Structure 1
Amino acid sequence: MSGPDNLGRRFVYAPGFFKHDQLPTGPDKGFRAHTFPEFGILDRSYGTNDPGEPALTQWQRFEKHIRHLNAADPQKDQYRVLLVARHGEGVHNVKERESKWARLEGDGTTTWLDARLTEKGEQQARDLSGFWKEALEVSKVPAPDRHYTSPLTRCLQTARLTFADVPLPSGNSFRPIVKEALREIHGVHTCDKRSSRDEILSQFPEFALEPGFSDEDELWKPDHRETLEERIPLMRQFLHEVFQDAESTFISLTTHSGAIRALYKAIGHPDVWVAAGAVVPIVVRSKSSA
């Protein structure tokens, strides 16, 4: 399903860097990807590696390689490394196991309209925070140049709990940009209807809303469930914006299972399903269609 966007760029995933690319696909195999140590980076050599630099970690060698590729021809092929987190377990994940609840807003005691994290989900996000701290210090994973997140509360909570106290380099502050393109596949299920602009800004003032973010949710419909194919054009537009930002190479996304699968389709990546509270890395290559 990968193909050019309406601005003449083609986005494809670049394999051969992470274990995650080689994992089983789909829940029918009883598998969902979890966070690998060092994000599952493969132990390999690169043409840009200097034999006199044995002290570099595998991530430092990978970073040097990616930056070399981007500098080689800025007008042609470019690369971005997406570190994609699925939010922690939400209230809706628990209740939707009883399918009758998916279309309702609550059960009389709990609401899952724009569902929040469960206690387990909050702990999963805190665990990710610890993982990131170790990855930055020990593995020398580059700190994200930019953070993007879904506008749904469970993702905003996950992003905050993950990165709020992770030490980032000077000038690399945690101020995530909230993007509609990263929200869950929407419609019918009330857990995927977002809160209003004012509610989001009130609860998460340290986050930045993308330009044109509507006051109320104008995408969610009670009688139509968006398909993965319907999300692809918006996902390609998001990728175009990501690649327009020449200063950001390593990028954190906090999003949802369905949105990750739509991203996969947009770039031709295998359909590796992701567990709640897990991070998977994806290398995306932007190619000119000319």
Structure 2
Amino acid sequence: MTAALVRRKGKGILAKALSSTSPFINTSAFSMSTSKCIRHQSSLSISSPSLMILRNQSASASCTRESSDMVEVDYDWLKQSRPMRIHARAIHPPNGNASAGGTESISSGVSKIIHFQRHGQGVHNEIYDQWVQQTGRRPDLHDMDPKNNPLLLPNVLDAPLTDKGVGQCVEQRAAIARRLNNVELIISSPLVRCLQTAHYTFEDLLPYNANASRGDVKWIVHDGIREELGTLLCNKRGPFSQTKELFPMVDYTHLSHHDEHDEMWYNYVANNSNEDGMPRRETIEGMSHRAFDFFVNFLMKRPEKEIVVVGHSHFFLAMTKAVLSFDEIDDSFISPVFGQAEVRSMELVLMEQ
């Protein structure tokens, strides 16, 4: 079995994006690697990683003002309104050294260890940063004019990782992933940057890797953990056939739609548009409902006790603010947005209210 990873060069990427008029991904922009083992083929110079990465400062340039505002909102009322409460305990540094009784009943609490990872730097993050550097201001991500909002540019559709993003994942593989010896399942968002992040970070657990430390780890894609829906093209999935070709060893049976052109996105837009027909961005509250459903009806029902979840910054912000209940307030897990490729480990316990 072979696999390929999407790569895109970053040089002059904002200028190229602004000059593009195609609404679809240009397949010539994809660089294919057919090695049986996923390899990092760029000449990046990787510095010695820290063993515990709680606050990744590289994320700060890509955080919008609205992300900071969202952090200050109290969503405890929303957690209390649900029939189940998901308690979270941070594990420092990220590792699997905690007991997790995944086979316990709901009444006594189902417990699992989850390692959450945000994707590495994507092309859209790089374009956003270049926009800020060139204009001296942050773009309004609610503006529907691509000239004022770079994340509406066609070149960011299902944005893959940059070379820097790949390097961030390779660093995390050495710093953290190789110390997670009990992982049984890896769940990724269906967006390409998350699938790439999972492959580069957890290369040692790929089933077709001849040098894999273990070959029994399951790989699953799930729509429940994808980034906010609605307007930003970086969060819209590319052609399904292309994703399957690039990542053939992943189980896609848990996707809500197996259509070629992202039916989940179009369904959301059809049901969440203003009177003038302009779509609305999915809110933190809306994403939290999706996250709660993912945890209660899928993740916590899985037989595996230790799981990796690879997702996105706004989804994880909704999760930490409006879904998980931390028994001991841990600012580094609740307040800041996940850094690029950052891993945070938690023990989750599902309890009745």
Cα offset, 1:239, TM superposition? 0.5
CA contact (8 A) 1:147 1:176 kept: yes
Alignment pair present for 1:196 and 2:244: no
For residues 255 and 105 of structure 2, what CA distance do their matches in structure 1 show? 30
CA contact (8 A) 1:243 1:286 kept: yes
Cα displacement string for residues 12-69 of structure 1 (whole angstroms, at most 9, x for unaligned residues)? 22x3x434xxxxxxxxxxxxxxxxxx42x7xxxxxxxxxxxxxxxxx54x23xx34xx
Structure 1's unaligned 5+ residue stretches are 20-37, 42-58, 136-140
Cα offset, 1:195, TM superposition? 1.4
Identity of aligned residues (%): 23
Matched residue, 1:117: 161
Cα offset, 1:267, TM superposition? 1.4
Alignment pair present for 1:18 and 2:18: no
TM normalised by structure 1 equals 0.72
Supply the AA of the counterpart residue of 2:323.
A
Matched residue, 1:161: 200
- More moved, 248-257 vs 121-130: 121-130
Q: Say what the alpha-carbon RMSD is for the aligned residues.
A: 2.4
Matched residue, 1:9: 84
Supply the AA of the counterpart residue of 1:2.
K
Alignment pair present for 1:267 and 2:324: yes
Question: CA 1:10–1:205 in structure 2 vs 1: closer, same or farther (change >3 Å)?
Answer: same
Of residues 235, 255, 262 in structure 1, which corresponds to 2:291? 235
Cα offset, 1:213, TM superposition? 2.5
Correspondence list, 1:1-150, <5 A: 1-3=78-80, 8-13=83-88, 15=89, 17-19=90-92, 38-39=93-94, 60=97, 62-63=98-99, 66-67=100-101, 75-97=107-129, 98=131, 99=139, 100-106=148-154, 111-132=155-176, 134-135=178-179, 141-150=180-189
Supply the AA of the counterpart residue of 1:244.
K
Number of corresponding residues: 232
4+ runs deviating over 6 angstroms: none
Supply the AA of the counterpart residue of 1:91.
V
Supply the AA of the counterpart residue of 1:164.
E
Question: CA 1:10–1:4 in structure 2 vs 1: closer, same or farther (change >3 Å)?
Answer: farther
Question: CA 1:288–1:74 in structure 2 vs 1: closer, same or farther (change >3 Å)?
Answer: closer
CA contact (8 A) 1:95 1:102 kept: yes
Cα offset, 1:74, TM superposition? 6.3
Cα offset, 1:133, TM superposition? 5.2
Correspondence list, 1:172-187, <5 A: 172-173=216-217, 175-187=218-230
For residues 248 and 80 of structure 2, what CA distance do their matches in structure 1 show? 36
1:283 alignment partner, SS class: strand
Alignment pair present for 1:219 and 2:276: no
TM normalised by structure 2 equals 0.60
